[in-house]
């Protein structure tokens, strides 16, 4: 695109300068915006999650927070596994759900909406019938 009254070289130089300025401004905004969030979450203690799996199948455990799902790990059948939830997974509203997906089955478990404060402890017991699982926040 050639701007009226400018040569092609001058128009290209202005376009390049504009794109470069926008890129720098966006990078500065991201750096400043992200730094504040990281520092805010760094001061909050993590949340401990202990999952006891009474099911014979291995279960993949997820945290649903702020509209996204994050995988924590797998709990082997008939065992107990501990996880640490970083403060960033708790989110600003301190609301989350736990989701367990049994490997090799269509069965799953999902908790009600949990209100969790930094430093608390969550116990989730997965039963042989995953729909009967229970959760406690302490």
Measure the CA angle with vertex 89, ends 83 and 92; round to 5°.
Answer: 145
Which pLDDT belongs to residue 28? 55
Q: At 113, give phi and psi (nearest 5°).
A: -65, 125
CA–chain centroid gap for 93, Å, is 13
Q: Where are the alpha helices (DSSP H) in 1-59?
A: 8-42
Could you tell me how many residues make up the chain?
Answer: 138
pLDDT tens column, 12-58: 767 766 666 666 666 655 555 555 554 555 678 899 999 999 999 99
Which pLDDT belongs to residue 43? 75
109, 72 contact by CB (below 8 A)? no
| Per-position DSSP letters for 105-134, written without gaps between them | SS-EEEPPPEE--TT-EEEEEE-SSGGG-E
Which pLDDT belongs to residue 80? 98
Which pLDDT belongs to residue 110? 98
Q: Residue 101: in which H helix or E strand, if any?
A: strand 95-102
Q: What residues does 81 pair with on adjacent strands?
A: 51
pLDDT tens column, 51-102: 999 999 999 999 999 989 999 999 999 999 999 999 888 888 899 999 999 9
Which pLDDT belongs to residue 42? 60
Residue 103 has pLDDT above 70, yes or no: yes
55, 21 contact by CB (below 8 A)? no
């Amino acid at each position: 695109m050639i701007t009226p009254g400018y040569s092609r070289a001058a128009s290209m130089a202005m376009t390049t300068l504009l794109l470069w300025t926008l890129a720098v401004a966006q990078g500065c905004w991201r750096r400043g915006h992200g730094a504040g969030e990281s520092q805010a979450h760094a001061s909050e203690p993590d949340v401990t999650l202990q999952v006891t799996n009474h099911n014979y199948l291995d279960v993949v455990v997820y945290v649903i927070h702020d509209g996204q799902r994050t995988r924590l790990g797998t709990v082997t059948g008939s065992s107990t596994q501990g996880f640490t939830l970083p403060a960033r997974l708790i989110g600003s509203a301190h609301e989350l759900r736990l989701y367990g997906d049994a490997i090799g089955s269509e069965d799953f478990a999902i908790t009600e909406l949990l209100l969790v404060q930094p430093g608390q402890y969550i116990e989730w017991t997965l039963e042989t019938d995953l729909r009967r699982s229970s959760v406690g926040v302490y």
